[in-house]
Structure formats: C-alpha cells, structure tokens
Structure 1
Amino acid sequence: MKTPYEPAPDKPGQHAPFSVVEATVAGAHAAMRDGTLTARQLTGACLDRIAAYDQRGPALRSILQIAPQAVEQAARIDAMAAHPPSLAPLHGIPVLVKDNIECAGMATTAGAECLRGNLSTDDAFVIRRLRAAGAIVLAKTNLHELASGGETVSTLGGQTLNPYDLARTPGGSSGGTAVGIAASFGVLGIGTDGINSIRSPASANSLVGLRPTMGLVSRAGLVPCGLTQDTIGPITRTVADTARLLDVIAGHDPADPVTSQGVPHIPASYAASLDRDGLSGARIGVLHHFFGRQDVHRPVNAVMEQALAVIAAQGAELVAIEDAISPDELLASTLVHHYEMERDLDAYLARLAPGVRVRSLQDIIAAGTVHPSVAGTLATAATLSGKDDEYRERLQRQQALRHWLQDLMARHGLDALAFPHQRRLVMPIGETQAERNGVLASASGFPAIVIPAGFSAPERNAPQGVPVGLELFGLPFTEPVLIRLAFAAEQALRARRPPHSTPALE
C-alpha cells in the first residue's frame, strides 16, 4: 500500500536554518517543533518581505491591507503552544486572502473605491475554518476589481505586476494572492474562481491553484459575481500545501446550502492522496482543441510538449482527444455570471452596514468610480439581468456540457483531462487577458487544478522566462484523484521556481 509523501526528517542534532522563501507548511512546522522557528518569527519574516517588495523594490502592488492583529495573533499562538509535540493543521501559518472574502476587523472592498469603508464584523466560513486550524490571516490581497477581469487592476490597488516579468499582468482575478504567494509574502493563499480566477494567476506565477467541485467549499462571506459559478479555493507553491489547505476549508456550511452536496465526498484527508507514483497506470486525455496552432502559441506548446512527455514517462497513458470542443465557443454560450451578477451582488450589498454608500449594482454604476476595465462588465450585467429565457438556455447548456464530459471520460476510461490553462503567455500590462481555458471547469462546476509546467525561453523583461501552467480537469468530487496526479507530476517536473525579482532578504 502506498503511503502519502512526507518530507524526510532532519538527522538528530541537525537543523538547517529556516528560510521563509518557498516555505511550506511541513517545513515551517518541522522548524517549530525543533524550536528554531516561532509563529511570530514566521509572520515577521513575511511582513518584512511585503515591506521590501510590495510597494518598494519591484513594487508588485499585491497587498491591499495588512491584518492589524496578525503579529499579536502569532504571539498568542506561540504562548499557547510553545514547542508543542503536535501542532494544529495550520498552526502559525500566515495566509493571504483575496479581498472579496470577509475577514472580521478588516474592510472587504473587492478592490473597489466604492466599498472602501465596508468593515467586516464576521469571518467568512473559510476564514473561520482557517483560524480554527491555527492559521494567521496576514493580509488582504489586490484583485481585478469586483473579481471581474483577468489582469488584476483595481481602483484601490492599482495594477499588480507579475514578479517574473514586471511588464506583464499576473493573471486574474486572484492575481494579488498569487503574486504574494509567488514572492513568499505568505505561506498559503486563498483565491476565488468564477471563470479562470484561481487557475489563471496560478499558471502565470508558477503556482498550484485548485478550483474545487461546486459544493465542496462554502462561498458564505464572498462578494459574489454569480453564484452558479463562484467558488473559493487554494493558491499555493506546492500540491502538498494545496491538499493541506483543502483539508481545512472543505466542509458543510448551512449558510451555503450547496455544500450539502459535498459532504458525502470529503475524505478523511486530501493529503493522504500525495503519492509520488500517482501517475503510474493513469489515463489522461489530452484535449487537442485546447492548444493554439499559431506562432503566438509556440512558447506555451513547447513547454506543454515537454511536460506531457515527463508525465508519460512516469507511467501515465496519454490519450489524444480530438473531439471538436472549443473553449471560445463555451465562453460565448454557457457562462451565466453576467445574468446573475445584479441579483447576487444586490443581495450581498443589501445586508452591509448602513455606512456603505452603495447598496446595489445600479448604485455602483451611478457612483462612476469603478476601474474602466470593469465599467463595461457592470453595464452588460445590468442589461442581461432579468433576461430569463436566455439565462435558462445557458443553464441548460451547462447541464448538457456536464453530461458530455461525463460521457467523454467514461468512453475513454479517463482519470483526468489535460491542457494548458492559457494557450498563449499571460498578457502584457495594458492588454486584455486572452485564450484562457478555464471555462471547462467553471461552466460545469467540476474540479480542476493547475500546476507549474515550466517556463518560456528567457527574454529581456523575463530573465527566467514566463511561467506556463498545466491544467488537470476531473469529474465531480475527484479532488483526491487530481491531487494524486498533480503531486506525482509536480515531483517529476520540478518546474516551480521563485522569482528573481524578490530574492531572500539579508
């Protein structure tokens, strides 16, 4: 019987000096157990890196606000459990949270000037889970305003930069969380995903990003874009940390009834699926229509070709899927968030404290303060709200897509589908994100995970190259399968690299 992967322990009496750069939960906890690290030291090291690199140095602009009680919380954790023989699952681990998720005592702005004063009095369900597991909410991160775009620019945070190429966007809309995790501003990250928004910045920042099955993780406390597609999930540097984070945040929440569907499918531990030999005997379908065929696609295709060859060498059978399924056609015909935005956003805004000056989508439009990249989205949502016939037709197409995908995977006996998350490299600043493939999961509600596949060739603005992410897509509640495959692929590829723009501090 295969056992889950755990890092080899240090030899007795030998303790390598701890570095926050590329730190993992397991590594931090090992240092805490041997007495060479405290939660306060770890938190302080992350804050030092934010001070050095977020508004200064490369000025990545990934952080909107620091949690005012983070250092005090870390000190309390240390006082309660000094050098404990066993630790809570996320004991003392600093977490970066996308600023469309409520954290008590902090504003929840979704990057929007019109929500600047929206002070949260309660934690979202996932934040309560994190705190109960010993985690420290360190900071709220920038996002594409109102989570309504792929470039991560907002009126409150400005343009977040990609640390691998400061002239490129970081993907989005959870780009602030991804950049912060890539730059080791925190150990774990929380993002949200309505279409591509966890997996896009994970792909663009050499990270792991998981969009869970709809119903696995509660959305209560989220500023919504459209609840048929909105979900919350991990952004981390390793698959192991994604599994550990999912262990904490997955679960039933009466405030989000859809989570009742996930309860029977949650295993004792997602981390138990971490298996270095997890690709052996797997059947993975490669969706050829999710690859581009023009010159602009060559950098991504070259990375993907090499990555898939490594995966095949680990014992996976790659099955060519030639079915004519077009991500661009799915984007145009199946998504429903614009039809739901006014309804779901109005319901959220209506329950906020009286001091918040916008109470509806129409109020936000009338305020005239949103970033120009979002104004058209809001106008479209206002126009489509109430077009019930079109909305129902799209919901029916989503159901048809689910049936088609289940049939496809059954016919070919597949464990997962594989494709590049983005057919071309993440876009330069000033250009709109293009040719992303995340729609398959967002339109179906099925799970998908992105892992680092490699880098494009180095260039002047990107001396390391630009990260490329490989997406693995699965059937509902097969997160253990995806984690097993992703972990084995990650261990074989060893593609993750920290950005040169944010080196270790002396």
Structure 2
Amino acid sequence: MMMKNLLKRLSVKKFHQLLLCGKLSCRELTEYYLKRIDAYDRKGPCLNALILLNQQALQEADAIDDEIKKTGKLTGKLCGVPVILKDNVNTWDMETTAGSESLRGFTPDEDAFITKKLRAAGAIILAKSNLHEFAIWGETISSILGQTLNPYDLTRTPGGSSGGTGAAIAADMGMVGIGTDTINSVRSPSSACSLVGIRPTIGMVSRSGIVPYSLTQDTAGPICRTVEDAAAVLQVISGYDNEDEETAWCADKKVDDYSCSELQLGLAGKNIGVLESFFGSQAEHLEVNAVIEKAVNILQAAGANIIPVKEEIDSGWLTADVSVHLYDLKDHLNQYLKKLPDRAPVHSLEEIIKSGKFHEGIRENLEQAMLHSIGTPDYNERLVLRGQVQTQLMKIFADHDLDAIVYPHQQQLVCEVGGSQKERNGVLCSVTGFPSIVVPAGYSQSTRTAPVGIPIGMEIIGRPWSEKTLLSIAGIYEKKATVMELPPFTPDFK
C-alpha cells in the first residue's frame, strides 16, 4: 500500500528524492506506468492514447538504477523520468509515424534534437503518443490509431493535436510529456485535460528531427501535471541547435531554474491584462467565462493588478487570414520527407496523397496544402499581417505596462468526439511566436458523462523570452488555486 501511494502522480522532484534515499527505483516507477497503460489505454476506458511502447524501457530503467548504486548521484536533471513523446518526434529506436499509415514501419536513423536532450538528461522515452495525423488539427484522430478519448469525459476529445500526450499524462501513464504546437497543439490538450502546457518563444526549442507542419509557427513544449515539472522539462529541451537556425536567437538565453522560493513573493507589483475580446458572449461560453473569472480573481488575490484590455483581437481572423500553416505545410513537410532514407515509404506530400494511407478527415487540408506554397503573394501578405499583429501585441504590453495577459484558451468546452474544435485562442501566440502557458483554471458543471466536470484552461502569455516571468505567475497561481480534480475514468490503483 505504501509503495502504491508513493507512485501516484509523482513529480520529478519528489521522484528524485525517493530515488536518492532508496525508497523507490526507476524500475519500480517504470513498471507502475506500464501497468497503468495496460489497464487504461486499450482496456477499461480504452483511451487509445499511445501508438507504441518502448520495449527496452525496463532495461533502460535497470541501467539507471545500477548507475545510481555505483555513484550515489542522479544521471541528469530528468534522471529515470518516464516521458510520453508525441509520435512526430524522431526516435532512432522506435517508429516515428506522425500518426499516419503512410509512415507505418519507418524508424528514423537518429533521434530528434530534443529526444537527444531528453536522453542526455537521463529520461526514459516510455511511449510514443497519438496525435491528430501530421498534427494537422485538434481532435487527436489518426489513421494509425484512431480517436484518443478524454479521461475526464469519454464522449469528448482530449484536444489536440498533442492529445495522446495530454490524455496519457492526465491518466498518470507517464511522468511528463512532450507535445508540438503549430496553432494550439500543446495548450489545447493541456486545457482539455487539466494540465500545464508551455508553448515557448519561437527559437527556444529546436524543431530538427520533428515532422514539420509549419516551421514559421512550429515549436515543441512540455505537457505536465505541474508548473515545476513543465519548467524542468523546458530547461532540458531548450537551447541552440545548429540544425535549426531559428534557435540562434536563444544562443545567449538561459532558462533559469524554476525556484519555489519565488512563490513566496506573490504577484505584488505584477500587472496582468485580461483580453476581453477573447471571451465569448453566448450561452455556450458562460461556463468557461465563469471559471476564468474565478481564476483571474485568484491572481488578483495573490497581489496582481488586473487590467482590462479592450483592444480588439479576433482569434478566428488570425486562424483564417494570418496563420501560414497550410501555406507552409507542403514545402516544409517535403523538406523533411525528401531527407528520409530510401527505405522510408513516402518522400513527399504528393506521395502521401497518392498512397491513400491517411485519415479521411485530413484529406481536405492535404489537398488545400497542395495548392499553396511559401513565397507567393498571398503568403507574403500573411507574413506582413503577422508582423503587424506582433507589433500590435507589443504595443498592448507597452501601453498598459503589462507583465502578462490572460484569457481562456478555448472560449467554449473542448468538443465531443466527432465534432471539431471551435474558438480556440492559442493562435495569438502561434502567429506571433510569443510564449504562453496554459494552467488548469477549473471545471464545468458535473454531467452524466463528466462526473467531475470538463477541464477548462487559462492561457497566460508574455513578451518574447519572458518564460521566467510566465513560470513565476503560473506557479503562484497554481499554489493559490488548488483546483485539481483527478480523471474519474482512470482511478488510482488500490
């Protein structure tokens, strides 16, 4: 009984304390997660979150345990930490399919840059997670695995495109997770599954070795249960990579250690804006609005100055008329596919479409992407608008002397299975490249299919390279809010 209590929803810091004092081993923790995967992923509620497991995970755990016995020291910042990795991130020892039957059976020659960083920090890649195929949209359905379910409400999606990671971390099938984010895809499952998700400033985290969607907007980021864990993962995966020229911008940047001591300071002196145009006004928005209002009140009670931001920004317009995701897709995906070895099953978007080996739900986007390209007049016009939005957002920060801006990540509840996500606000940081963090804000009213309610996330955004400030605000909010409800369909083992 005691061992099972130690294992439940462990944080990185607590795990390392138990590891060093001999109360827990890497093997015991890895076995615990594998048992939960066996119980809940394809059995029980059948979350369908994971595409494949690392068959060497227990051997890797044993090797780390042996090293700790010899040295008495951790092997890195994520020593022995089992990671759920989105299956568009390359792994040399496991297939990388991007959720597509068109890439089934393909194992890359080497790890992605961030996979190397994770392993160098001592992490164990426990499993590769489902995603909306090629990360193209937000419901987490793919031809290789099908639909992933939300562990808080099995009739709803877990958000996306990184919903496999989100569902798995919420269900305690791994300690920390990695997603990628082109429009909403780290923050959407974080919001929908009551997790912390970070979209870092573009250039902080390398994209080399990650199947691209839009390199103008793509990044990778942590999906975790706590701010502290997310900060630890971000510190590990960030840094300069000469294979991704955008990361040259972070060569002189450092992600500072997350300090719990800062939490004692509260938010006194912090100016936090509330972006009013990112709230809905119809009946379907009322539950979300009420939860976010309570979250903002918690920030204010912690000492923050809450400032209404009345400048109009239309998230729908940003997605439809500013985002370049479909314009980049063909050219950027082809760059990746053309570099794959001859044994890879496809080497272009055209070959993927001809193969027919993809989920029918992404056909329209794939065919639209074939009609677009980088460098066209339409594309360049979007880049001009992107620059204008970046300046507009910086001006809002300057005019109101803001440290951060908050709003609901999604104006209405995450959609049901078979539906499509609506009114997600994460596009603001995607088109500008600014950083943001989603934190659990609360839950909708309990229903028959959602006994504890449906999770609702608050997004906190900042100026470029303001991750330390955002982490501090998120950490203080997390400590004051204590809103966590556990997923009802993946209970703790007795």
TM-score range (shorter-chain normalised) is over 0.9
The answer to whether the Cα contact below 8 Å between 1:142 and 1:175 also exists between their aligned partners in 2 is: yes
The answer to whether the Cα contact below 8 Å between 2:228 and 2:258 also exists between their aligned partners in 1 is: no
Shift of 1:20: 2.8
1:433 to 421, 425, 442: 421
The answer to whether the Cα contact below 8 Å between 1:240 and 1:274 also exists between their aligned partners in 2 is: no
Q: What one-letter code is carried by the residue in structure 2 that aligns with 1:31?
A: L
The answer to whether the Cα contact below 8 Å between 1:58 and 1:501 also exists between their aligned partners in 2 is: yes
Q: What one-letter code is carried by the residue in structure 2 that aligns with 1:331?
A: T
Q: Aligned partners of 1:96 and 1:136: how far apart in 2?
A: 9
Instruction: Tell me the secondary structure at the aligned position of residue 191 of structure 1.
Output: strand
The answer to whether the Cα contact below 8 Å between 2:130 and 2:165 also exists between their aligned partners in 1 is: yes
Report the identity percentage: 45
Q: Aligned partners of 1:268 and 1:111: how far apart in 2?
A: 34
Deviation string, structure 1 residues 260-297 (Cα, Å, up to 9, x no partner): 10122214424578524342221111000000000000
2:222 to 206, 213, 234: 234
Q: What one-letter code is carried by the residue in structure 2 that aligns with 1:418?
A: V
Shift of 1:246: 0.9
In the TM superposition, 1:300-449 aligns within 5 A as: 300-385=288-373, 388-449=376-437
Q: TM-score, normalised to structure 2's length?
A: 0.97
Structure 2 vs 1, CA of residues 91 and 381 (structure 1 numbering), >3 Å: closer, same or farther? same
Instruction: Tell me the secondary structure at the aligned position of residue 339 of structure 1.
Output: helix
Q: What one-letter code is carried by the residue in structure 1 that aligns with 2:148?
A: T
In the TM superposition, 1:80-159 aligns within 5 A as: 80-82=67-69, 85-87=72-74, 88-159=76-147
Q: Aligned partners of 2:390 and 2:261: how far apart in 1?
A: 25
Q: Aligned partners of 1:130 and 1:422: how far apart in 2?
A: 30
Structure 2 vs 1, CA of residues 171 and 267 (structure 1 numbering), >3 Å: closer, same or farther? closer
Q: Aligned partners of 2:331 and 2:266: how far apart in 1?
A: 43
Q: Which residue of 1 aligns with 2:46?
A: 59
Count of residue pairs brought into register by the alignment: 492
Deviation string, structure 1 residues 231-268 (Cα, Å, up to 9, x no partner): 00000000000111111111000010111101222144
The answer to whether the Cα contact below 8 Å between 2:255 and 2:467 also exists between their aligned partners in 1 is: no
1:74 to 32, 39, 61: 61
1:258 to 246, 253, 263: 246
Q: What one-letter code is carried by the residue in structure 1 that aligns with 2:55?
A: P
Q: TM-score, normalised to structure 1's length?
A: 0.95
Q: Aligned partners of 1:105 and 1:136: how far apart in 2?
A: 12
The answer to whether the Cα contact below 8 Å between 1:276 and 1:487 also exists between their aligned partners in 2 is: no
The answer to whether the Cα contact below 8 Å between 1:196 and 1:442 also exists between their aligned partners in 2 is: yes
Q: What one-letter code is carried by the residue in structure 2 that aligns with 1:358?
A: V
2:29 to 42, 45, 53: 42
Q: Does 2:470 align with 1:475?
A: no
Q: What one-letter code is carried by the residue in structure 2 that aligns with 1:163?
A: P
Instruction: Tell me the secondary structure at the aligned position of residue 265 of structure 1.
Output: coil
What runs of 5+ residues in structure 1 fail to find an aligned partner? 1-14
Q: Which residue of 2 aligns with 1:164?
A: 152
Q: Which residue of 1 aligns with 2:180?
A: 192
The answer to whether the Cα contact below 8 Å between 2:99 and 2:145 also exists between their aligned partners in 1 is: yes
Deviation string, structure 1 residues 399-440 (Cα, Å, up to 9, x no partner): 111111111101100000100000000000000111100011
Q: What one-letter code is carried by the residue in structure 1 that aligns with 2:25?
A: T
Structure 2 vs 1, CA of residues 341 and 274 (structure 1 numbering), >3 Å: closer, same or farther? farther
Q: What one-letter code is carried by the residue in structure 2 that aligns with 1:258?
A: E
Structure 2 vs 1, CA of residues 319 and 268 (structure 1 numbering), >3 Å: closer, same or farther? closer
The answer to whether the Cα contact below 8 Å between 1:219 and 1:230 also exists between their aligned partners in 2 is: yes
Q: Which residue of 1 aligns with 2:18?
A: 31
What runs of 5+ residues in structure 2 fail to find an aligned partner? none
Extract structure 1 runs of 4+ deviating beyond 3 A. 15-19, 83-86, 270-274
Select between 259-268 and 53-62 the one with higher mean Cα deviation: 259-268
Q: Which residue of 2 aligns with 1:12?
A: none
Instruction: Tell me the secondary structure at the aligned position of residue 320 of structure 2.
Output: helix
Q: What one-letter code is carried by the residue in structure 2 that aligns with 1:319?
A: I
Select between 457-466 and 116-125 the one with higher mean Cα deviation: 116-125
Q: Aligned partners of 2:102 and 2:492: how far apart in 1?
A: 37
Instruction: Tell me the secondary structure at the aligned position of residue 6 of structure 2.
Output: coil
Select between 415-424 and 118-127 the one with higher mean Cα deviation: 118-127
The answer to whether the Cα contact below 8 Å between 1:282 and 1:316 also exists between their aligned partners in 2 is: yes
The answer to whether the Cα contact below 8 Å between 1:339 and 1:387 also exists between their aligned partners in 2 is: no
Select between 364-373 and 477-486 the one with higher mean Cα deviation: 364-373
The answer to whether the Cα contact below 8 Å between 1:35 and 1:83 also exists between their aligned partners in 2 is: no
Q: Aligned partners of 1:184 and 1:82: how far apart in 2?
A: 27
The answer to whether the Cα contact below 8 Å between 1:169 and 1:428 also exists between their aligned partners in 2 is: yes
Shift of 1:31: 1.0
